[in-house]
Amino acid sequence: MLQDVLTAVIATGCAGLVYLSAAARVVKQYERGVVLRLGRFVGGVRAPGFTMIIPFVDRLYKVNMQIVTLPIPAQEGITRDNVTVRVDAVVYFKVVDPANAVIQVEDYRFAVSQMAQTSLRSIIGKSDLDDLLSNREKLNQGLELMIDSPAIGWGVQIDRVEIKDVSLPDTMKRSMARQAEADRDRRARIINADAEFQASKKLAEAAQQMADTPAALQLRLLQTVTAVAAEKNSTLVLPFPVELLRFLEKAQTQPSAPEPEKPRPLGLGTPPDARPQEAEPATASDIAALDAMAPDTSASAVSAEPAGPDGTEPEVSTVDDTPEAPFDPASVTPVRAAADAALPGPPDQSGRTGERTRRPRG
């Protein structure tokens, strides 16, 4: 009898231990428990620590309450100014309502990930390239608002959204580099021009001061010579007054009076091109008058050829066989010289001009 009682007590204890092990649950500090009894949410959210459920009737779901870091895959899109970019981001969120996170959505992590990708594509299309590169804080706030709106009903709170990287095409990178270089060059030129303007003002003041005090100009010149001679070179500096250069320049620009041309005597050695252009060429009547005035002291030999068989008259030619008279310069007149220049006789075999062939008169 006692043995039966002991056996029943041991069996009851073993059954209790099995039930206790099946019903006992431990919820961690960063977790919350949601119990569904026969498929219905009952009992509220279980706090961290030891808790009991009915085995084979209740089912306990543990929800992590920590902040979850969810990377968003790189999304490719076209900005409002028609530039193709690839943007990736990261989302920080946490569960604030464990019951809704279990009941309202099947997998809140996957839901938040898809919503973040869709919102990222939308924010890319609504923004310019300059906003993506420089005004990321505003874009992060807009992206956070777009993801947080539907996530509130899932018991999820979006803590923060950050755009990590913006990838641009290589051509766009080169264009932006050229733009930045041109902008820096423009600023450098503006600064250089401002410096030149300020330096010119100071130089004008210094020039005015030196004009009032000529000794200052001389001292400045000596200082320049000293500075050049301090280095080991072969440069020789000779001060040259600027006023002297101006005087020479004015002397060169003044036109000089033209010299009067001296008349050249007309002689035998004067070439035809250097003779006065006013002399008119001799006419045939002038030549005939000259021939009539000249004395005929030469003896002419007339040779006649016999008549031809056809009865034609023989050609009569006059040849001057007398020796040429000595040349008298006094007998040369301007009219005769012009006639000789206008109508020269044919050269003979000796190279000098011969007499003109004359036909007998009558």
d(CA 191, CA 193): 5
Give backbone dihedrals phi and psi of 245, rounded to 5 degrees, phi first.
-65, -40
d(CA 349, CA 197): 87
d(CA 222, CA 228): 10
Asked if residue 48 lies in contact with residue 67, where contact means CB atoms within 8 angstroms, the answer is: no
d(CA 165, CA 177): 18
Query: What is the distance between the terminal CA atoms of the chain, rounded to a whole angstrom?
Result: 204
What residue ranges define each of the domains in the chain, with the CATH number in brackets? 22-62 (no CATH), 68-173 (3.30.479.30)
What is the model's pTM?
0.49
The residue type found at 166 is V
Strand, coil or helix: 271: coil
And the tokens for 350?
């000796």
Asked if residue 288 lies in contact with residue 268, where contact means CB atoms within 8 angstroms, the answer is: no
Summarize the chain as % helix, strand, coil (round to 5). 45, 20, 35
Q: Vertex 21, ends 16 and 24: CA angle to 5°?
A: 110
CA-nearest of 292, 290, 297, 301 to 332 is 290
Helix H segments across the chain?
Answer: 2-23, 98-103, 108-125, 129-134, 136-151, 170-212, 214-230, 242-253, 284-293, 334-342
The residues with which 134 forms a beta bridge, in sequence order, are none
Q: Vertex 276, ends 272 and 278: CA angle to 5°?
A: 120
CA-nearest of 106, 94, 101 to 33 is 101
Strand, coil or helix: 68: strand
Q: Vertex 238, ends 235 and 240: CA angle to 5°?
A: 145
What is the structure's pLDDT at 40?
87
Asked if residue 80 lies in contact with residue 125, where contact means CB atoms within 8 angstroms, the answer is: yes
The residue type found at 142 is G
d(CA 297, CA 324): 11
d(CA 327, CA 296): 16
CA distances in angstroms from 209 to 198, 206, 222, 243, 323, listed in the order given: 17, 5, 17, 18, 95
CA-nearest of 173, 97, 174, 163 to 131 is 163
Mean pLDDT, the chain cut into blocks of 10 residues (362 residues total): 79 81 86 89 86 86 91 89 90 92 90 91 88 86 88 89 88 87 93 93 86 79 76 67 74 63 51 50 60 50 45 46 50 54 51 46 44
pLDDT digits (tens, 9 = 90+) for 301-336: 344 444 444 444 444 444 444 455 555 544 545 545
Strand, coil or helix: 297: coil
d(CA 140, CA 317): 127
- Residue by residue, DSSP assigns 104-150 as T-S-HHHHHHHHHHHHHHHHHHTS-HHHHHH-HHHHHHHHHHHHHHH
Strand, coil or helix: 40: strand
